[in-house]
Structure 1
């Protein structure tokens, strides 16, 4: 796989941040308001050759939002390849459909919490940030 230069990836991430979808904006606002000590999220973060939708460095957790076009064969295959690469690098990837953001944002946020802390009842504990 050809590696893309850091400056190109950063520029692509910046452009994506400037052109977020309505579903990304909804989730971003909700993630920023969560009381999760030390587990802040970045949006449109470059990781390796990819730019991910949302990334919690301390939890090595990636959240990807998928619209209807992710059902198409070529896009779904790219998603699988990308997710496999990220998981091989030690990241956890969870995916949500855009419709899940509008239908039940609370369930989406609960899933993120469980992924970071192990259960809905877990008390938030500061997560140690690891540089990527």
Structure 2
């Protein structure tokens, strides 16, 4: 370091790679790293998946579902999502029976609203639906994807022919 140069004590936020374009040459949103405790909790959750989560993960991992990449037990803000697809900005939550009891519905609604404010949709799938049928969870995700309006990624294609 040159004499007199000031050191920046705060490193820049993490991006997808070297600069705003990221590793793959396309713009990526800046993702601030969650606190160490939350990252360690997410790692522990990845080792301790419930049976419905394991079954759904078998259908999602390795881009098996329409080429979509999902992360499991992914920390976002103060929460840890069961599954998350960045491309769709979709959180998938596997809900056991306890989610219908006591204060769970209100807590889930608050959590879903937090994600909605940040442009992340939440799809809740009952654990029993995953246990009762092979492909039950991934089928629900596909229904969601098909029902979602397509977002154009650029200008419309040029018109063929002589025009008007």
Query: Which TM-score band (shorter chain)?
Result: 0.7 to 0.9
Q: 2-side partners of 1:107 and 1:69: how far apart?
A: 20
Q: 2-side partners of 1:11 and 1:107: how far apart?
A: 30
2:117 aligns with 88
Q: 2-side partners of 1:96 and 1:71: how far apart?
A: 12
Cα deviations across residues 1-50 of structure 1 (Å, max 9, x unaligned)? xxxx621111110111111101100000011262422x210000001110
Q: 1-side partners of 2:129 and 2:89: how far apart?
A: 22
RMSD: 1.9
Structure 1 runs (4+) greater than 6 angstroms displaced: none
2:84 aligns with 55
Q: 1:68-83 counterparts in 2 under 5 A?
A: 68-83=97-112
Out of 62, 65, 71, the residue aligned to residue 94 of structure 2 is: 65
- Please tell me whether residue 101 in structure 1 is matched to residue 130 in structure 2: yes
- What's the offset of the Cα at 1:71? 1.1
Query: Which consecutive unaligned segments of at least 5 residues does structure 1 have?
Result: 120-132
Larger-gyration structure (1/2): 2
TM-score by length of 2: 0.64
Q: 1:1-132 counterparts in 2 under 5 A?
A: 6-32=35-61, 34-37=64-67, 39-116=68-145, 118=146
If asked which structure has higher relative contact order (CA below 8 Å, sep 6+), I would say 1
1:6/1:101 CA distance change after superposition, 3 Å: same
Query: Which consecutive unaligned segments of at least 5 residues does structure 2 have?
Result: 1-33, 148-164
